[in-house]
Chains A and B, each alone.
Chain A
Amino acid sequence: MGNRMNGEREGMPSGILALIILIGSYILMRFVISPPLPSALTNFFMLFVIVGVLIHITLEDGRIEEFLDFISFRSRLHPIYNVIRWTVFIMIPFFVTYQVYSAVKISYAPPGELFQPHVTPPEWVVGFKVPEWASDPATWGRGLIAEGKIYYENHCAPCHGKEADGRGPEARVLIYPIPPTNFKDPGAIAQLPLSYVYWRVKEGGVRDRQFMSSMPAWEEEMDDEEIWKTIMYMYTKAGVKPRTW
């Protein structure tokens, strides 16, 4: 099957293809995509790429042999492929050195943060009954929504934006670990039941360490009725509906 030591192979050796896929995927994730994927996540996805490459190589007996010949320098290759093979071989210690260097290098950057989009609500939210007049989006009256608009534009729009797209004037400085929510995002308030959103507005994010957000608590500024009207406007403006089941 494999032609060891003799005869040049036709086409690209699987070892070269594997290198292209591995190095290419890494470069794609860390340097092409913007912002780059976090390093831990890159490693996580690299695991998939490595498994994919290993599966590809071990699918056929012949290919395994060819690959082993490649990495053990037994096969004779086209000069270009040979140069690549040698370059990668020589680069391995440098790569390891760089990894060690970056691991021990003192960094002044703030530590990485995990933003948790939907955190666990406190116990009072569990089983909280939404007042009947606010519970069904189909019955939200125009008057209530119009009133909500005033509260929204006074309190929420500076960060979440007049268009409910998370692009208020303040949003430019609030970017880490999480900027103001874009309510139009199908993964944001459209995913949440009303009771959850009510809790977020009422108690904000600053009080809850899970969020790590600078969202203030509005319960001292607004009463319950006003909060509900604001929520109604928020959903209407964003053009999404709360989760209903």
Chain B
Amino acid sequence: MKKAIGYFIVVVLVAAAYFLGKEPVVEAYREFPLIGARNVVWILAQLMLLFAAFILAVPVFAVIIEAIGYFKRDERYDRLARDFASLLPLAYLVTALLGALFSVMSFSLYPKFMGYMAGIFRPTIYIFFGLVFLETVTLYIWYYTWDLLKKRNHLLLGIVLNVLGTLVMFVGNAWTSFKTSPAGVEVSGNLLSLSSAIFNYTFWPLNLHRFVANVSFGGFICAAYAAYRFLSARTPEEKAHYDWMGYNGTLIGVVTTILLPFIGYWFGIEMYKFNEQMGITFMGGALSKIWLLQALVIAVIFIGTCYYFWLRMDRLPGAERYRKYIPYLSWALIIAFAVWSAPRAWVSSLEEMGRGLHPIYGKLGIMAPKIAAVNIAVLCVILTFILNRRAERQVPPGRKIYTYLQWSVILLVVLLNVAALYYSYIVPSATRIRISIATFLFMVPAIGMIYLMDGLLLRGSERVGEMQWGNVPPRSQYGLIAVAVSNVWAMALLGYGRAAARLNWHVYGVMEDTSRHAGLPAMGEATLIISFLTLVFIGLVSLIFYMTGVTGREVTGGER
């Protein structure tokens, strides 16, 4: 009944949006009381996107986990996948509500701009709604046939669901990326080619970036959910299950997060290719402080995740041997992130400024040291994984060579980054960028080699002791919650950054924003809104957790 009412509201809102959009346009902008038109659209858009990311991400790894469970014939995975999936029906409803509200507000507050966008992308709007409908239907069938269908068929349905979800995202991304890097239109804005408008410069980077980021976001949110359930669990079995769930969610989250800086730089390069000035504004100009804040939240994500893994080692049988390395890893990460978030220039007094750029942070504030820092940070995360894996195993004798090789690769990564950094200060920018990309790319085989050596080292090795799920310090779980909150904040921040790169344009260089909200807000104001919507999102998601948690407990109680 509740769902029926929910969908009725969605239909009414969408219809309202349609008719408001149809209304003869007399004015380009309308105002919204108290917080202003821009802020209300911003908040609704970002909240909707966060939920959309969530409902796209959860099915991706629910299906992956379900498949692992099927092939490993391990019931626990199936239960985990189902636990993740149980969050979806309600989350879909909230997304649809927010989406409808966002459409109504956009069409009513920015009628001219929305009218223009609808005019350019009209055919894709029909496709979008068709796909959303199909996706929703598939989700409900997938969710409610968990035990009815044969596992293989159920997995297939899950894949179909994911394909549909990804297509929905692609259509939305076409609209968004068009606003940043329009193509296929005349200078006056008239449409020349719809396919060029869709496949614009930033379309594919945005698709890939959002897809991967969504998966890591979903992983972290589910880990936070598991952390919450772990902290409120009463029995050791429940603790063990949610500890294991948190571990898997975090693993998915962090592995995909490691890919994001690489895809992010591709996005940046495409932006430069589209328009150099926009690239400068985004990376080094008016919006450069965004990247410092981003470094800070990514620091929380990386360090928080590692903290969780390090704390696991405090209780892991056999981990005593490796605990002595942890402080070095933690300080290396801290220093790497301090370099990553070093600004090129800062508000300074006469004495502090000296002669222009500061000799220390002025030099650390450019791209090259940050890339070295990212690489070192990624290396530290990988080493944390390796130590965690090795802690529970007995290394067979006579395999020291693999450890030496592993150390050599690690040393090589560090030396290469230091050397690249040194040269970056003397060579021209084009060469520097090539060096940076090369160090980035070198990370891939390096990580591969480290894992290969690890595989050879631990081949056929025995476990030191039985893994004791549920036996982790509660503070590690707060680490996971902090990671999830930072992740939401980071997404909202970068969403703002990407939109802000358009400056006073609705569609960059094509349709100017002439409303009173055209200029960028001050960074402080922007971060307040970002924090506000992070809180609202976390609140809403907690509500979903609470509501599904109640029903979920009955299910798990029944199983036991």
Check if B361 is an interface residue, CB within 8 A of chain A.
yes
Contact for B430 among A125, A175, A243, CB less than 8 A: A243
Check if B552 is an interface residue, CB within 8 A of chain A.
no
Is A51 within 8 A of B334, CB to CB? yes
B311 closest partner in A (C-beta): A59
Contact for B353 among A34, A48, A117, A176, CB less than 8 A: A176
Q: How far is the CA of A59 from the CA of B306 in the complex (A)?
A: 11
Stretch at the interface among A71-79, A81-89, A108-116: A108-116
Give the contact-size bracket for chain A: 35 or more
Contact for A175 among B314, B356, B429, CB less than 8 A: B356
Across the interface, which residues of B come within 8 angstroms of A190, CB to CB?
Answer: 428-429
Is A112 within 8 A of B286, CB to CB? no
B349 closest partner in A (C-beta): A112
Is B473 within 8 A of A37, CB to CB? no
Q: How far is the CA of A117 from the CA of B288 in the complex (A)?
A: 10
0/1 interface trace, chain B 321-352, chain A, CB 8 Å (1 if under): 00100110011001001100101111111111
Is B281 within 8 A of A186, CB to CB? no
Is A187 within 8 A of B303, CB to CB? no
The A-contacting residues of B in range 507-525, CB under 8 angstroms, are: 509
0/1 interface trace, chain A 202-238, chain B, CB 8 Å (1 if under): 0000000010000000000000000000000000000
Is A240 within 8 A of B428, CB to CB? yes
Is A241 within 8 A of B430, CB to CB? yes
A190 closest partner in B (C-beta): B429
Q: How far is the CA of A223 from the CA of B125 in the complex (A)?
A: 51
Check if A97 is an interface residue, CB within 8 A of chain B.
no
Across the interface, which residues of B come within 8 angstroms of A55, CB to CB?
Answer: 303, 307, 330, 334
Given contacts A51-B303, A60-B314, contact A110 B285 (CB under 8 A): no
A35 closest partner in B (C-beta): B354
Is B361 within 8 A of A37, CB to CB? yes
Across the interface, which residues of B come within 8 angstroms of A175, CB to CB?
Answer: 353-356
CB distance from B273 to the nearest CB of A (A): 6
Given contacts A118-B284, A126-B277, contact A186 B425 (CB under 8 A): yes
Is A245 within 8 A of B344, CB to CB? no
Is A121 within 8 A of B277, CB to CB? yes
CB distance from A107 to the nearest CB of B (A): 9
Is B361 within 8 A of A116, CB to CB? no
B504 closest partner in A (C-beta): A123
Across the interface, which residues of B come within 8 angstroms of A120, CB to CB?
Answer: 277, 280-281, 285-286, 503
Contact for B327 among A34, A59, A111, A195, CB less than 8 A: A59
A107 closest partner in B (C-beta): B349
Check if A20 is an interface residue, CB within 8 A of chain B.
no
Across the interface, which residues of B come within 8 angstroms of A56, CB to CB?
Answer: 327, 330-331
A115 closest partner in B (C-beta): B345
Check if A58 is an interface residue, CB within 8 A of chain B.
yes
Check if B499 is an interface residue, CB within 8 A of chain A.
no
Check if B31 is an interface residue, CB within 8 A of chain A.
no
Check if B278 is an interface residue, CB within 8 A of chain A.
yes
Is A41 within 8 A of B314, CB to CB? no
Across the interface, which residues of A come within 8 angstroms of B68, CB to CB?
Answer: none
Q: How far is the CA of A113 from the CA of B349 in the complex (A)?
A: 7
Is A48 within 8 A of B314, CB to CB? no
The B-contacting residues of A in range 159-217, CB under 8 angstroms, are: 166, 175-179, 181-182, 185-187, 190-193, 195-196, 210
How many A-B residue pairs lie within 8 Å, measured between CB atoms? 166
Check if A132 is an interface residue, CB within 8 A of chain B.
no
Is A192 within 8 A of B350, CB to CB? no
Is B277 within 8 A of A36, CB to CB? no
Is B430 within 8 A of A245, CB to CB? yes
Check if A45 is an interface residue, CB within 8 A of chain B.
yes
A45 closest partner in B (C-beta): B338
Check if B195 is an interface residue, CB within 8 A of chain A.
no
Is B277 within 8 A of A195, CB to CB? yes
Check if B408 is an interface residue, CB within 8 A of chain A.
no
Check if A3 is an interface residue, CB within 8 A of chain B.
no
Given contacts A41-B343, A109-B350, A115-B356, contact A52 B428 (CB under 8 A): no
Given contacts A40-B346, A110-B349, A241-B429, contact A52 B334 (CB under 8 A): yes
Contact for A61 among B280, B341, B429, B473, CB less than 8 A: B473
CB distance from A46 to the nearest CB of B (A): 10
Contact for A35 among B326, B347, B351, B424, CB less than 8 A: B351
Given contacts A55-B330, A117-B345, A118-B285, contact A126 B275 (CB under 8 A): yes
Contact for B344 among A38, A112, A117, A177, CB less than 8 A: A117
A21 closest partner in B (C-beta): B331
0/1 interface trace, chain B 273-298, chain A, CB 8 Å (1 if under): 10111101100111010000000000
Q: How far is the CA of A116 from the CA of B287 in the complex (A)?
A: 10
CB distance from B482 to the nearest CB of A (A): 11
Check if B475 is an interface residue, CB within 8 A of chain A.
yes
Across the interface, which residues of A come within 8 angstroms of B330, CB to CB?
Answer: 52, 55-56, 59
Is B346 within 8 A of A41, CB to CB? yes
Q: How far is the CA of A22 from the CA of B341 in the complex (A)?
A: 19
Q: How far is the CA of A59 from the CA of B387 in the complex (A)?
A: 15
0/1 interface trace, chain B 525-541, chain A, CB 8 Å (1 if under): 00000000000000000
CB distance from B537 to the nearest CB of A (A): 24
6 contacts between A and B (CB under 8 A): A52-B334, A109-B350, A112-B349, A114-B347, A118-B284, A245-B273
15 more contacts with CB within 8 A, not counting A41-B361, A111-B349, A190-B428, are A34-B354, A35-B351, A48-B299, A48-B337, A51-B334, A55-B330, A58-B475, A59-B310, A61-B473, A120-B277, A121-B277, A166-B356, A178-B356, A186-B429, A187-B365
Top 10 nearest A-B pairs (CB, nearest first) are: A35-B354, A118-B284, A52-B334, A241-B428, A112-B347, A179-B356, A38-B348, A114-B347, A193-B276, A187-B366
Chain A residues proximal to chain B, CB less than 8 Å:
33-38, 40-41, 44-45, 48-49, 51-52, 55-56, 58-61, 109-121, 125-127, 166, 175-179, 181-182, 185-187, 190-193, 195-196, 210, 240-241, 243-245
